[in-house]
Chain A
Amino acid sequence: MNAKPPADAPVTRRQFLRDGARLMTMTGLGVAAGALAARSTSGAWVWQTDPAKCLHCGNCATQCVLEQSAVKCVHAYAVCGYCQLCTGFFTPEPGDLTTAAENQLCPSGAIKRTYVEDPYYQYSIDEELCIGCAKCVEGCNRFGNGSLFLQIRHDRCLHCNECAIARTCPGQAFRRVPVEHPYLLKTTSR
């Protein structure tokens, strides 16, 4: 019936069932929403990777839904040894300790090596160039202090409900963290 029934018509069985279903559903929704809201924090969750669990597999560079991954390498300068022969910067068995392409581990040349004082060199990451492939992280953790690590950069991350990298991470290093503390920075070597 397209026309609305008159206001004083008796309630049909269908109408009654419908009203009942609606009432029950609204009650159920209300209870669920209330229960969850009571437990809810004010803010949301964001994804972050735990550097202690990272296996430097390289998935971060390829699995992000964005073409240029939101995961970038970060340097914990306090943990760095400032070595002349940085195992995160140089390939194993570099011919020379120069910044020539054949000596560098980083495929996009994102690590900048600058001289500080003898024999210390500073290594910093250019985030625009970093692709998050974890080659430097592997080199640094295997042979060095482990001061290079990967982190999701929240100015680039889309904050998907399910992080596409999280589900392929072999070390299960990704987890949700409260938005108030969105980074899991490394402060010690291990």
Chain B
Amino acid sequence: MFRRLKWIGVLGMMLLPALMICAEQRFPPPDFESGYSLPSPSTPPTRCLWLQYADAGVFLAALAVAVWLIYKKRSRRGLFWLSLFSLAYFGFYRKGCLCPIGSPQNVVYGLFNPDYAVPVTALIFCFAPIAVTLFAGRAFCAGVCPQGALQDLVLVKPVAVPLWLEEALGVVPFIFLGAGLVCAGTGTGFVICRYDPLVPFFRLSGGTFILTAGAAFLLAGMFVGRPYCRFLCPYGGLLRLASLASKWRVRVTPDVCTQCRLCEQSCPFGAMREPAPAESNPASPAPERKRLAWLLALLPLLIIAGAWAGSKLSPAAAQLDPGVALAERYARQQSHPARYGLMTPEALSLDRAAANPGAVLASAADMRHRFDLACWLFGGWIGLVIGVKLIALSVRSGRTDYEPDRGACVACARCFTACPNERVRLGLAPAGGESAPS
């Protein structure tokens, strides 16, 4: 009856004695008589550790040089060359990784996952720019960030972005920041790194989607100044907030502002703010004050509404985590079994789940719990951001001169060379009103 033999059967019969001898390995280790010696697998080493410290050193040095160039030398040209150096070193040489934009994720991941120790270099990359910004404004963005340098390089003909669009898109970096920190804190993944559109250019390779997105950003960047920095970069959002509290600020010129608006035209990022007009009619502030009062009262409501909406997101967001996704697939398998081919990864991972469902479900439950909390915070954060932005649009400032907005100014020093008074001060133009070509 059992007469048909495939090669598997033949093989099995041939090697059965071996099976009997060695329960651990299917085929026992051979006894070599010819003096053959076993090679061992090669283990090419990683990059030297001191080189990583050298990177951090170069980073701090570049930050210091940027601050010096903006405040002491006040040189646009110097800053330009520094940004090119940063593009070459941190961009094309280090392939854009480890970068400050993604490092807050490492910090948050380290805070909430005790088995991950944040490397010292990551700490330096994360905190140094924030510390510098708290004192000197967004010097990092102008001189040290390779993504920023790339965008500055491709800028050909800047076009002004209307305020309503800028404000609307300005919420996106904070959403991205919140989402990134949620995913990092729960240990799901680093979405900020995943969706960085410009790093694939540094690597000269990447997936189709992200390369297309990156190309789109660079194409847009030819006409809109720094679209990634203004409308997507989550670290830029952080630095924007830090810059509001900075000790020193970028000033177009310490001399008198003649309201000539040349600096406003020269800023490709729309960061220059005009002087606030005087209060002409004492009676008119009332509607504005009332609006401000309403918005202030609305703020806590927005936060609560945001938190509530965010909490609804939790079951869907948790599925980003592969452990929760496996638990979902396992649960779905119990009620609606799907057919997976023999030995496919889906079947094998389900087999592993079925071997120990308690552990899989327990860890997924823990992850869902984390996501519940994180999504509450995320929703509340978005509500806070929108509420504060609304309030900021209703508050009047007491500016008398044209000066860059603290948060939006990336300290690129273009306005220094545009202001005639500054040009005179720097010695680029003779005093007395004649402006010679640069």
Interface residues of B in 328-349 (CB under 8 A from A): 343-346, 348-349
* B88-127 near A? 1/0 per residue, CB < 8 Å: 0000000101100010011100110010111111110001
Say whether B131 contacts A179, CB under 8 Å.
Answer: no
Number of interface residues, chain A, beta carbon within 8 A? 76
Chain B positions within 8 Å of A22 at CB level: 134-135, 245-247
Closest to A41 in B: B117
- Among B33, B118, B135, which residue has its beta carbon within 8 angstroms of that of A40? B118
Chain A positions within 8 Å of B245 at CB level: 18-19, 21-22, 25
Interface residues of A in 142-189 (CB under 8 A from B): 142-145, 151, 153-162, 164, 167, 169-172, 176, 179, 182-183, 185, 188-189
Interface residues of B in 382-438 (CB under 8 A from A): 399-403
Chain B positions within 8 Å of A155 at CB level: 44-46
* B36-52 near A? 1/0 per residue, CB < 8 Å: 10111111111101001
Q: Once bound together, how far apart are the Cα atoms of A25 and B38, in whole Å?
A: 59
Q: Once bound together, how far apart are the Cα atoms of A45 and B400, in whole Å?
A: 52
Interface residues of A in 126-149 (CB under 8 A from B): 138, 142-145
Say whether B95 contacts A158, CB under 8 Å.
Answer: yes
Chain B: interface size category? 35 or more
Chain A positions within 8 Å of B352 at CB level: 171
Once A2-B403, A154-B44, A161-B106 are accepted as A-B contacts, the answer to whether A44 and B27 lie under 8 Å apart by CB is no
- Among A81, A158, A167, A170, which residue has its beta carbon within 8 angstroms of that of B189? A167
Say whether B205 contacts A32, CB under 8 Å.
Answer: no
Once A55-B345, A142-B343, A155-B44 are accepted as A-B contacts, the answer to whether A161 and B119 lie under 8 Å apart by CB is no
Q: Once bound together, how far apart are the Cα atoms of A142 and B348, in whole Å?
A: 13
What distance in Å separates the Cβ of B196 from its nearest Cβ neighbour in chain A? 10
What distance in Å separates the Cβ of A2 from its nearest Cβ neighbour in chain B? 5
- B251 contacts partner chain A, Cβ-Cβ < 8 Å: yes
Say whether A162 contacts B253, CB under 8 Å.
Answer: no
Say whether A161 contacts B98, CB under 8 Å.
Answer: yes
Say whether A36 contacts B110, CB under 8 Å.
Answer: yes
- B323 contacts partner chain A, Cβ-Cβ < 8 Å: yes
What distance in Å separates the Cβ of A137 from its nearest Cβ neighbour in chain B? 13
What distance in Å separates the Cβ of A65 from its nearest Cβ neighbour in chain B? 6
* B20-43 near A? 1/0 per residue, CB < 8 Å: 000011111110111010111111
Say whether B44 contacts A153, CB under 8 Å.
Answer: yes
Chain A positions within 8 Å of B39 at CB level: 77, 124
Kindly list the 4 A-B residue pairs having the minimum CB-CB distance in the complex, ordered from nearest: A81-B27, A162-B190, A170-B345, A155-B44
Residues on B lying within 8 angstroms of A by beta carbon are: 6-7, 11, 24-30, 32-34, 36, 38-47, 49, 52, 95, 97-98, 102, 105-107, 110-111, 114, 116-123, 127, 130-131, 134-135, 189-190, 193-194, 200, 203, 205-207, 242, 244-247, 251-257, 322-323, 343-346, 348-349, 352, 399-403
Q: List 11 A-B contacts (CB under 8 A).
A: A2-B254, A3-B254, A19-B245, A36-B111, A77-B41, A79-B25, A116-B34, A120-B32, A162-B190, A185-B43, A188-B24
